[in-house]
Amino acid sequence: MLKKVRICIHTKQREIGGTLFDAPEKASAPSQAIHAEPQKIELVVEGSYYDDGTRISISYKDGELTGMENSRTTLSFQKSEPSLITMTRDGAVRTALIFEAGRRHMCVYQTPYIPLEVAVKTKQVENRIEEKGTLHLQYTVELKGANAEQTEFSMILLPDIDKPRSKSGPPA
């Protein structure tokens, strides 16, 4: 089943010191904040929701506000493993990030110039897409050779575009 949806996205990012590229037994999410104020982005976009019975995918076009203009982001997961989320981006930059609470995953961030190694360490995954239409991720991501960023990402699926919103309260 494919349907159009409106998606409310909230992100909060803070640049931090430290590294995720140490050996797994030494690697831990860096915690020393470099900037006191986090960068916040809130936006509502149109996207698509696809459920094939075993896998759910939610896709939307990124814009200038996210810094990923002309890119498409897709978040997906197997219904049998809702706590393992994959985020792919296609367009000017390409990547596939894996989010799994308590785990570190090494990924590649493909730019028009060179591929960059990325480490992602996920602290929390709250996937309630099927029940409540919400997804919340807390993770640290680091491009090799750059400072890490702690990110909180929340997604809320709003009422279907094709259906009118229900009015609250009793009928008049």
CATH number of the CATH domain containing 63:
2.40.128.20
Express each pLDDT in 143-164 by its tens digit. 877 778 889 999 999 976 555 4
Q: Which secondary-structure segment (H or E) carries 7?
A: strand 2-17
Q: Is residue 162 part of a domain?
A: no
Compare 115 and 167 and report the one with higher pLDDT. 115
Q: Is residue 170 part of a domain?
A: no
CB neighbour burial string for 101-118, b if at least 16 within 10 angstroms, e if fewer = beebbebebeeeeeebeb
Give the separation between CA 25 and CA 86, rounded to whole angstroms.
Answer: 24
Give the separation between CA 68 and CA 88, rounded to whole angstroms.
Answer: 12
Q: Is residue 124 part of a domain?
A: yes
Q: Is residue 50 part of a domain?
A: yes
Q: Is residue 143 part of a domain?
A: yes
Number of domains in the chain: 1
Question: What per-residue confidence (pLDDT) applies to 68?
Answer: 65
Question: What per-residue confidence (pLDDT) applies to 170?
Answer: 35
Q: Is residue 110 part of a domain?
A: yes
DSSP of 72-133? EEEEEEETT-TTEEEEEEEESSEEEEEEEBT-EEEEEEE-SS-EEEEEEEEEEEEEEHHHHS
The residue range of the domain holding 104 is 2-157
Lowest mean pLDDT among 63-67, 68-72, 111-115, 157-161: 63-67
Q: Is residue 36 part of a domain?
A: yes
CA triplet 38, 23, 84: central angle to 5 degrees? 60
Question: What per-residue confidence (pLDDT) applies to 126?
Answer: 98
Q: Is residue 144 part of a domain?
A: yes
Q: What residues pair up with 158 in beta bridges, in sequence order?
A: none
Question: What per-residue confidence (pLDDT) applies to 154?
Answer: 96
